[in-house]
Structure 1
Amino acid sequence: MSYGTAPGLGAPLPALAGNLLTELRQSPRRIHVITNAAAQALTANLLLAVGAIPSLTVSPEEAPAFTARSAGLVINLGTLDSERRASIPWSIATARQQHLPWVLDPVFVESSPQRLELARLCLAGTPAVLRCNAAEFSALAVTEASPEAARAFAQDHGTVVAMTGPTDLVTDGARAIRIANGDVLMTRVTAIGCAGTALIAAFAALHPDAFEAAAAALLTVGIAGEIAAAKADGPGTFQAAVLDALYNVRPPDILERARLA
């Protein structure tokens, strides 16, 4: 499978990831995140660690204004209380009006018909990226998760599917890449995936190709997970080590460690 090159840069994906990380550190972008209660602190800290600026209000009175002054938006369906339900459509509408990239993270849509219905309504707003796991994708697509199904779904919905798992798959329907970086400890700490979705939005705010931005972000988070796992004693120290790894990782680390197919 081909992951292409960065338009105007001629850089393969690992180099692009390093370039975007460097640019984000030098020119911070504000990302507004409507996420679940368990993920808020880690998401904010992850964005700060890579040089971005988080905002997290879920108030329907405020979220659209915060979205309008941001460079990207994340919608995470993990905690669907009344405030989040009310603020999500207005924030998506604002992002579309402002031509901002936004990322949908349909957490546990396979567990709740109401959540699945909302996720499908969100998809009608054409997110730049759908970041999901295989179970969430299967619920949305009403088919078994596979590279072929992900390609078809991305093409039909005009979005990038970033399906995470032991090996991540990113596709826009025409292109696809698998990313093998990461560590099992990433599944032992709540909200690592949710927080990583915010890096997709931050990279998409810097780079017009959402497929490449999503792949670069997942590659970066996966490599940070590997670096952190080598230093951590378990899940408790792993969470802090991931933030340290994202703060310290440099482009040569990404070039050296990237495992792509």
Structure 2
Amino acid sequence: MSMEKILWEQVQLVRQKSPLVHNITNYVVMNNTANALLAAGASPIMAHAKSEIQEMIGISHSVIINIGTLDEYWSESMILAAKTAHSTGKPWVLDPVGAGATSFRDQVLNQLLPYQPTVIRGNASEIIALAKANTTATKGVDSTAQSNEAVDAARSLVTRYGTIVCISGETDIIIDHQQEIFIKNGHPLMTKVTGLGCSATALIGAFIGIAEDKVMAVAAAMVLIGIAGELAAEESKGPASLQVNLIDQLYTITEQEFFNRLKIERK
């Protein structure tokens, strides 16, 4: 089967199986993230209370840990969730929002990483900071580096933690032990809407929750949101309408639209 068909099969699988995704994510993007998951066919749940973390993970297909609006209580919930996911073999995704910006964020990330996230998704600056590859600064949650500048840092994380790394940027780069995948879907207007990276992370969680081939699942999620963004941009006046139209496109995207716009390369 061609890679294109494998990717579309992953999209269909999420629609058919509606995986339950447990999100411990930042409260800036909760609504957007939940709606993106629903539109793609998944079932979101947002829960960060320590008392229910273990039970919630037990019934979920995957776990998202997004440190965007980090605080002392949430950090404890995140560490418990990562530990539980790791010990039970549940796939989980780490979104290291603002890695390198403060010592508190880096401290929490250093506590999370030993639990070997299935996938790490971040922008180039975050991936570089996470790997401590150099002193490139983050600017809040925005990247000050291009995705290709973070490839060595990503490879370091793959080797150290056995994870899949997805570097978001103008070109999305997915790296594991065996391959590197380059995706050039998306639209510049997407950078003007808060939380679309977080939505991509959540979609990755949905896809890896039910897929055997985790790398192809990550690629399918990134292609899906990239193409949805392209389609949405063509009918949007600006960032506000893009946000609404993108959710619609995640819901209505067809196989033909997917194949016609797919821009992917594997090395």
Instruction: State whether TM-score is above 0.5.
Output: yes
Alignment partners' CA distance in 2, 1:28 and 1:105: 22
Q: Secondary structure at the match of 1:80?
A: coil
Instruction: Choose which of 55, 72, 90 in structure 1 pairs with 2:80.
Output: 90
1:52 aligned onto 2:50: no
1:214 is matched with 218
Correspondences of 1:229-240 after superposition (within 5 Å)? 229-240=233-244
State whether residues 25 and 52 of structure 1, in contact with CA within 8 Å, keep that contact through their aligned partners in structure 2: yes
Long gaps (5+) in structure 2: 135-148
How far 1:110 moved relative to its partner? 1.8
2:115 is matched with 125
How far 1:22 moved relative to its partner? 1.1
1:251 is matched with 255
How far 1:208 moved relative to its partner? 2.0
Q: Any runs of at least 4 consecutive aligned residues in structure 1 with deviations exceeding 4 A, and if so which? A: none
Alignment partners' CA distance in 1, 2:99 and 2:66: 11
State whether residues 18 and 250 of structure 1, in contact with CA within 8 Å, keep that contact through their aligned partners in structure 2: no
Name the TM-score, length of structure 1 as normaliser: 0.92
2:138 is matched with none
1:3 is matched with none
Correspondences of 1:1-261 after superposition (within 5 Å)? 10-12=1-3, 14-144=4-134, 145-261=149-265
Alignment partners' CA distance in 2, 1:160 and 1:50: 22
In structure 1, what residue type is equivalent to 2:211? H
Alignment partners' CA distance in 2, 1:180 and 1:91: 33
State whether residues 153 and 173 of structure 1, in contact with CA within 8 Å, keep that contact through their aligned partners in structure 2: no
State whether residues 150 and 173 of structure 1, in contact with CA within 8 Å, keep that contact through their aligned partners in structure 2: no
Cα deviation 1:74-99 (Å, max 9, x = unaligned): 00000112331121111112212331
Count of residues paired in the alignment:
251
RMSD over aligned Cα atoms: 1.3
1:5 is matched with none
Q: Secondary structure at the match of 1:73?
A: strand
In structure 2, what residue type is equivalent to 1:142? K
Long gaps (5+) in structure 1: 1-9
Name the TM-score, length of structure 2 as normaliser: 0.90
Cα deviation 1:39-63 (Å, max 9, x = unaligned): 1001110111011110001111122
Q: Secondary structure at the match of 2:50?
A: coil
Cα deviation 1:102-158 (Å, max 9, x = unaligned): 000000012111101211221110011000111101111122543233223312220
State whether residues 24 and 51 of structure 1, in contact with CA within 8 Å, keep that contact through their aligned partners in structure 2: yes
Q: Which moved more, 1:122-131 or 1:111-120?
A: 111-120
Q: Secondary structure at the match of 2:60?
A: coil
Q: Percent of pairs identical after alignment?
A: 36
Alignment partners' CA distance in 2, 1:240 and 1:130: 27
Alignment partners' CA distance in 2, 1:81 and 1:146: 27
In structure 2, what residue type is equivalent to 1:216? A
CA 1:91 to 1:154, structure 2 compared with 1: closer, same or farther past 3 Å? same
1:7 is matched with none
Q: Secondary structure at the match of 2:209?
A: helix
Alignment partners' CA distance in 2, 1:89 and 1:148: 27
